[in-house]
Amino acid sequence: MTDCIFCKIVKGEIPASKVYEDDAILAFDDIHPMAPVHVILITKEHIATLMDVDKNHTDVMGRLIAAAQKVAQIKKVAAGGFRAVVNCNSDGGQVVFHLHMHLLGGRKLEDQLG
């Protein structure tokens, strides 16, 4: 994807405040945080939405969850708790059509975001 902002971040074309990275996942601080800790975790492979995940992506989905656990530890929210959210398509609140997870924490979260 040539116009995908997350693909550009993966390629290093757009800077990001990296929190965690491995060969499949990149995590960085959200530039418009909705909580004291708000990290975006993305797959390095461009997958547009959660609905585009298929049997070939089971490994990367497991790695996304494992990365979220590591980020929660790095950001020191693992013990107190955090929220992990994947929005899917426009009605689900997805704005960037590249599979990603929001990890939010650092305070008691309300029932709804935003």
Is the pLDDT confidence value at 114 over 60?
Answer: no
Q: Is pTM beyond 0.85 here?
A: yes
* Confidence band of 110 (pLDDT split at 50, 70, 90): confident
Mean pLDDT of the chain: 94
* Per-state percent for the chain, helix, strand, coil, to nearest 5: 30, 25, 50
User: CATH: 3.30.499.10, 1.10.10.410, 3.30.428.10, 3.40.630.30. Which one for 5-105?
Assistant: 3.30.428.10
Coil/strand/helix, residue 65: helix
Q: How many residues does the chain have?
A: 114
Mean per-residue pLDDT, 51-60: 92
* Confidence band of 58 (pLDDT split at 50, 70, 90): confident
Is the pLDDT confidence value at 106 over 80?
Answer: yes
Residues of the chain with pLDDT > 70, as a percent, come to 96
Active-site residues: which are they? 100
Beta strands 82-85; 100-105: pairing state: antiparallel
Residue spans of the domains in the chain: they are 5-105
Is the pLDDT confidence value at 21 over 70?
Answer: yes
Contact predicate 35/55, CB 8 Å:
no
Write down the residue that tokens 């398509």 correspond to: 89
